[in-house]
Chains A and B, each alone.
Chain A
Amino acid sequence: MAQAAIELIGINKSFGAVRANRDINLEIARGTIHGIVGENGAGKSTLMSILYGFYQADSGEIRVGGQPAAIKTPNDAIALGIGMVHQHFMLVDNFSVLENVILGAESDALLKKSIAKARSELERLEREYGLEVDPDAIIEELPVGLQQRVEILKALYRGAEILILDEPTGVLTPAEADHLFRILKQLKNQGKTVVLITHKLREIMDITDTVSVMRQGTMVATRETAKTTVEELAELMVGRRVLLRVEKGEAEAGGVKLAVKNLTVKDTRGVTMVDDISFDIRAGEIVGIAGVAGNGQSELLEAISGIRRAVSGSVMLDGKPIDLTGAADPGELRDRGLAHVPEDRHHVGLVLAFEENENSILGYHDDPRYLKGPFLNIDAIRNDAKDKIAKYDIRPTDCRLKTANFSGGNQQKIVLAREMEQDPGVLIVGQPTRGVDVGAIEFIHKRLIAMRDQGKAVLVVSVELDEIRSLSDRILVMFAGRIVGERGPEATEGELGLLMAGVEHQEAAE
């Protein structure tokens, strides 16, 4: 085994009563890619923040390259060759790439030398690692994948030998993620050490050499990636056996519930995002829409759920048309039995500053069950929220807690509980498990299949191919606003991947 780049010995950290890290021991070998997995709140990010000097451990020792290191500020970490790519990028959006790279590492007060040095350094890094970015581009005009590359460049510019990446693929498209992994492998080949924090087990299996699992603030295991399996890691993370692929029987599809015909939708800039799409969803089946993010799935969802105006085409719900001119209000659609779990739960699905019980009736507050005359029936609302908390295993179980204080998975359960418990005939779900833990994914998938088995029509849009394959009875693939193929659940990943990349589509067009 190679020499250790980093050793953490007996690290403890508490925030008030919460013990975020308990007695953590970890050894990261030089020149390897080391994965750290765990559910949200398992303490991964806290541990890495301690390593980067953002927080200080209550007790314990850090050794870098075999030497004990006192890391009190990010400056100390940078000086020791530790660089970090944060989950939420630490970039100044209206600065150029160059300005972001030199910020904090400028050698002279008038910046002349710093800028010249940064330009030549960026050229060198581009040559060595294939990290190509225009140094004069403004950050906010760059796609997310490139912004992340700037973060990596920032770390390398400061001489990082050890690079920590916190959930780097959460915001990336699959193609961007692949590119990132190629860069990370390149870094490893050049002798750098990479620490990858994630809760996506697939990534761990694809790219890491070693993987450590955290659960509830403790380090539960470290494995060689080649000698472990996704199932074992999932079990270590959650602490019990997890079904990564939920069992389900054959679909017993009934009559058509939702019929989309020749639907065309444009975005706010006037670009056609949904181009003449037609499909049906029948009672008792789950239809999955696969595709790389940005190929019109979001606009399709918004048009069907009455949030976005359609240019042409029709959508029939139970044989009656939905008004697509923008006059339809989502509340009316809800009354007609169409429930919508939006893709972006933070901005569309929830009011994060509200209490949990308020969010659990959001949009249904006119329902007589929640009213007492013209007033809200607070007791009924809270009791209703408590029922949902119990039924959907939402944690913590306090319905008076601010929604922002729930984890991503539990927030998603709040939205799902709200929409599913209205017993809709048609359920439309965007990204059902984005940013959700393994354990909660299993639960959400089971619920969606239960809905199907009750004879509901379910439409799932997801960029996670595994999820689409595991849930759907029929899979539609969207590319550039069109449906480029329909496959059964037995379709292989490679087959769907080609469709998602538009390959078959182009061949057909020729």
Chain B
Amino acid sequence: MDVFNAIVQTLDSTIRLSVPLLLACLAGLYSERAGIFDIGLEGKMLVGAFAGAAAASVFHSAFLGLGMAILISVAFAMIHGFASITHRGNQIVSGVAINFIAAGSTIILGQAWFQQGGRTPALQPGERFEAIIWPGADAIHDVPIIGPIYAELLSGHSILVYLAFLMVPFTWWVLFRTRFGLRLRAVGENPAAVDTAGISVAWLRYRALICTGILTGIAGAYLSMVQNGGFVKDMTAGKGYIALAALIFAKWKPVNAMFACLLFGFLDALSIRLQGSPLPIIGKVPVQFMQALPYILTVILLAGFIGKAIPPRAGGVPYVKER
């Protein structure tokens, strides 16, 4: 039973750890499917995390915090759009710049406003998103097998967790069953086809980036208002890049993206779980190795196991009407 409990606990933390990856990955999916590379997922998550925690702490409202996280993240997405759509700048450069601005400005503003070394004040109850306990979770907790799965794995997460997983079928539906999705996919493959069909390429891509900003905002809010009780500097810690890796791994498909993010989340959970405990046969493994494991596996997976990943054909190329 101990083994079973350990497995349930690991899977539970897998879910918690994969949520920010999943939200960021879906965010990237919207922009990359529209032909805009977005290496600035990391930065947008970070400003979202900061704005969310700061607003929640000042206004004493978790939902105001979430709203502010989304607003600021979308604003940063629009900066990316202004540089790379309107002014046809290099999308990678613009994305990197956004990451730097995010990393620097959150610390400076955090220190100026709260004087806690770049942190935001610890969030009080009501300023955070609390866990939602499903009906009857306590009652059946002790039922073997079903109990822990229901009570720990399914129940007891914050609303943002359920939202993140609901975004998967929703995103699939938007992309493959709506007019907006059809056009969005088309503009990522051949913007000239969209332009000659009488649709504005720029406006379409801006709308895709708004979707991206909303999702990275939620991802950021999750980090600072659910996973943590406040903002800590550089708290995204490379999750935006892992999300990009997951996006490639998922071949730009929403359901694949969920499984890719769960896999990366699982590796993360496993490395935490196994820290300090000796493995069978191998014995005790240094903590550093376990922490590096998800990244090592990322490289191996991306290099060898995904086969040919064909990105959206117009990705990374600013649209210029040819003469």
Contacts and interface: CB of A to CB of B under 8 A. Distances in A.
B196 A93 contact: no
Contacts of B307: none
Contacts of B179: 106, 108-111, 114
Contact of B183 (A73, A78, A91, A103): A103
B197 A54 contact: no
Contacts of A95: 185-186, 189
B313 interface: yes
B38 to A, nearest CB: 21
Interface string B172-204: 000001111011011001101111111100000
A390 B59 CA distance: 77
Contact of B177 (A73, A105, A110): A110
A470 interface: no
A73 B186 CA distance: 19
B87 interface: no
A173 interface: no
A56 to B, nearest CB: 12
A94 B198 contact: no
A74 B201 CA distance: 13
B308 interface: no
Contacts of A74: 195-198
Contacts of B195: 74, 90
A90 B321 CA distance: 12
8 contacts: A54-B196, A91-B190, A93-B190, A93-B313, A94-B189, A103-B197, A110-B179, A111-B179
Contacts of A99: 182, 186
B178 A110 contact: yes
Contacts of B182: 99, 102-103, 106, 111
Contacts of A15: 323
Interface of A: 15, 52, 54, 73-75, 78, 84, 86, 88, 90-95, 99-100, 102-106, 108-111, 114, 154
Contacts of B190: 90-93
B197 A104 contact: yes
Nearest to A104: B197
A74 B183 CA distance: 16
A100 B177 contact: no
A78 B323 CA distance: 20
A90 B197 contact: yes
A413 B183 CA distance: 42
Contacts of B198: 73-75, 78, 104
Closest A-B pairs by Cβ, 3 of them: A104-B197, A75-B198, A90-B193
B178 A109 contact: yes
A95 B180 CA distance: 15
B214 to A, nearest CB: 19
A169 to B, nearest CB: 20
Interface string B61-105: 000000000000000000000000000000000000000000000
B196 A86 contact: yes
Contacts of A78: 198
B196 A111 contact: no
Most B CB contacts (10 A, CB to CB) among A86, A91, A95, A103 go to: A103
Contact of A105 (B192, B197, B323): B197
Given A86-B196, A90-B196, A111-B177, A104 B189 contact: no
Nearest to B312: A94
Interface string B280-323: 00000000000000000000000000000000010000000101
Most B CB contacts (10 A, CB to CB) among A15, A54, A92, A154 go to: A92
Contacts of B186: 92, 95, 99, 103
B315 to A, nearest CB: 13
Interface in B148-190: 177-180, 182-183, 185-186, 189-190
A90 B178 contact: no
Given A73-B198, A74-B198, A78-B198, A92 B193 contact: yes
Contacts of B194: 103-104
A153 to B, nearest CB: 13
A108 B313 CA distance: 27
Given A90-B193, A103-B182, 13 more contacts: A54-B321, A74-B197, A75-B198, A84-B196, A90-B192, A90-B196, A90-B197, A92-B186, A93-B190, A94-B189, A95-B186, A103-B194, A108-B179
Contacts of B197: 74, 90, 103-105, 154
Contacts of B178: 109-111
Given A90-B197, A104-B197, A104-B198, A109 B189 contact: no
A75 B185 CA distance: 20
A262 B108 CA distance: 77
Nearest to B188: A92
A93 B321 contact: no
A106 B180 CA distance: 10
A75 B199 CA distance: 8
Contacts of A52: 196
A174 B186 CA distance: 31
A106 B199 CA distance: 11
